[in-house]
């Protein structure tokens, strides 16, 4: 009887990352809701929910595929809007990698704060709640609806503990901005910490790099929130190698891997790039033997379950569900 009653979890998947949605659904022990998504011949996106969502607790999982960010974003907005008009009780947008996250400040004259625009767009479409992974705190404040910002850190900690001896490791932040993230991991593991200072003349172009800290004869683990063209990571890895690191690997939350990232990685001194599956990776895992993937879906699924049941989510900030 209770299964028939309203206000159950309805998991709706966008087209960008069905694999992740499927894993989340499996974890929650439910089916992904039936939906129809298609593009008209003029490439306009059309979306229909195939089953009733009236008075249900709707979770819309949509990542954005590299190169098709706007496509995924518009589809998400249309999905939210469709569920809103279909009288869903609450709509939670589950956006593992938040699009336009880097355009979050007016760093030049008349530069658009696109991240804020995207946040406003989602609220306008009708999202009541946002679940995302490793978004900057500054961007969380763009929203006036609640945002549950999950961390990949517990998953990373487990990966390091399972694969390395923590004493041999040194956690390295590839830029000053990521120092907090790196120190947090270093503190949890009780290991050393280093930092690379870089000068960045233009976006996606890497300037001179200086290492602060000692990595000699250690496994240097670079930690960052995003790997896009991988120029920074690869240069940082080279700097670490020059400074005597035994081996270098990188732990990155969002593996966007655009442009020539795969070729850059394959030709680098990095022994491995470990990413979570927040971004659909397509055939990149096959093309890059150094690429390892941590499944983030248990964390997201648990966040969905706790959100639905009104339980605290903070446990997930320190623990990764097995």
Partner 1 sequence: MRGTLIFAGSSCPDITDKICHNLGMARADAELTQFSNGETSVRILTSVREKDVFVVQSGSPKINDTIMELLIMISACKGGSANKITAVLPYFPYSRQSKKKSHRGAITARMLANLLGVAGVKHVITVDLHASQMQGFFKCPVDNLHAEPLIARWIRRNVPRWQEAVVVSKNAGGTKRVTSLADALKLNFGMVTTDKKRGPNMSASMISYAFDGMERQPVLEPISNQVRTNSSELENGTPDAAADVAQPQDARSAADAQGSPRLRPNGTHPRGPANRRKSPPRRSQTTLSQSSIIDELDEDLDDETDGLEYNDQRAHEVTHGRLVQGHIVPDDFPSPATSAADTNLPEEDPMMLSHASSFFAPQPHALGGSGDAGASSDEEDDILKDPKVEHMITLVGNVKDRTVFIVDDMIDKPGSWIAAAETVVKRGRASKVYCIATHGVFGGDCLEQMQACDCIDNIVVTNSYPIPAHKAQDASKLVVLDLSFLLAEAIRRNHYGESMSPLFQHLMD
Q: Which residues bind partner 1 (CB under 8 A)?
A: 40-50, 52-53, 64-71, 73-75, 77-79, 81-83, 85-86, 99-100, 102-103, 106, 108-114, 116-117, 120-121, 124-125, 203-204, 228-229, 256, 258-259
Q: Smallest gap, in angstroms, from Cβ of residue 54 to partner 1?
A: 9
CB of 262 to partner 1, least distance (A): 12
Residue closer to partner 1 by CB (options 46, 318) is: 46
Rounded Cα distance, 69 and 57, in Å: 26
Q: What tokens were used for 302?
A: 């648990």
Nearer to partner 1, 136 or 241 (CB): 136
Percent helix, strand and coil across the chain, each rounded to 5?
Answer: 35, 25, 40
**173 with 314: CB under 8 angstroms?**
no
Q: Looking at the chain, how many residues does it have?
A: 322
DSSP letters along 82-143, please? Answer: HHHHTT-SEEEEEESS-TTTT--S--STT---HHHHHHHHHHHHT--EEEEES--HHHHTT-
- Alpha helix locations (H) across the chain? 18-28, 69-85, 114-125, 137-140, 153-163, 179-189, 231-242, 261-266, 284-287, 297-309, 315-318
Shortest Å, Cβ 220 to partner 1? 26
- Closer residue to partner 1 (CB): 173 or 264: 264
Nearer to partner 1, 220 or 230 (CB): 230
Q: What are phi and psi of 263, to 5 degrees?
A: -65, -45
Tokens of 163: 């694969």
- Cβ 211 to partner 1, closest distance in Å? 27
Q: What is the C-alpha separation between 32 and 9, in angstroms, rounded?
A: 10
Distance of closest approach, residue 116 Cβ to partner 1, in angstroms: 8
Q: How far is the CB of 76 from partner 1 (least distance, A)?
A: 11
Q: Which is nearer to partner 1, 83 or 160 (CB)?
A: 83
Question: Which residue number, 45 or 299, has a Cβ lying nearer to partner 1?
Answer: 45
């Amino acid at each position: 009887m209770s299964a028939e009653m309203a206000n159950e979890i309805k998991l709706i998947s966008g087209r960008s990352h069905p694999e992740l949605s499927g894993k989340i659904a499996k974890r929650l022990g439910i089916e992904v809701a039936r939906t129809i998504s298609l593009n008209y011949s003029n490439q306009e996106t059309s979306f229909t929910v195939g089953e009733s969502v009236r008075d249900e607790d709707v979770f819309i999982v949509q990542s954005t595929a590299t190169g098709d960010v706007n496509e995924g974003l518009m589809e998400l907005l249309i999905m939210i809007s469709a569920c809103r008009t279909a009288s869903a009780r609450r709509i939670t947008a589950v956006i593992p990698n938040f699009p336009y996250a880097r355009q979050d400040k007016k760093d030049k004259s008349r530069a658009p704060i696109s991240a804020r625009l995207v946040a406003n767009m989602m609220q306008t479409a009708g999202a009541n709640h946002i679940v995302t992974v490793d978004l900057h705190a500054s961007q969380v404040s763009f929203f006036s609806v609640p945002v549950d910002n999950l961390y990949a850190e517990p998953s990373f900690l487990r990966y390091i503990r399972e694969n390395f001896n923590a004493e041999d490791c040194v956690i390295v932040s590839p830029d000053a901005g990521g120092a907090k993230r790196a120190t947090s991991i270093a503190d949890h593991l009780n290991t050393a910490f280093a930092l690379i200072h870089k000068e960045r003349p233009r976006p996606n172009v890497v300037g001179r790099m200086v290492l602060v800290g000692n990595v000699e004869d250690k496994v240097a683990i670079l930690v960052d929130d995003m790997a896009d063209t991988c120029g920074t990571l690869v240069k940082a890895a080279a700097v670490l190698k020059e400074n005597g690191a035994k081996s270098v690997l990188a732990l990155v939350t969002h593996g966007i891997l655009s442009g020539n990232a795969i070729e850059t990685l394959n030709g680098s001194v990095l022994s491995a790039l470990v990413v979570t599956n927040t971004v659909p990776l397509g055939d990149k895992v096959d093309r890059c033997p150094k690429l390892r993937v941590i499944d983030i879906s248990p964390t997201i699924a648990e966040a969905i379950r706790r959100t639905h049941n009104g339980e605290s989510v903070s446990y997930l900030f320190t623990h990764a569900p097995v």
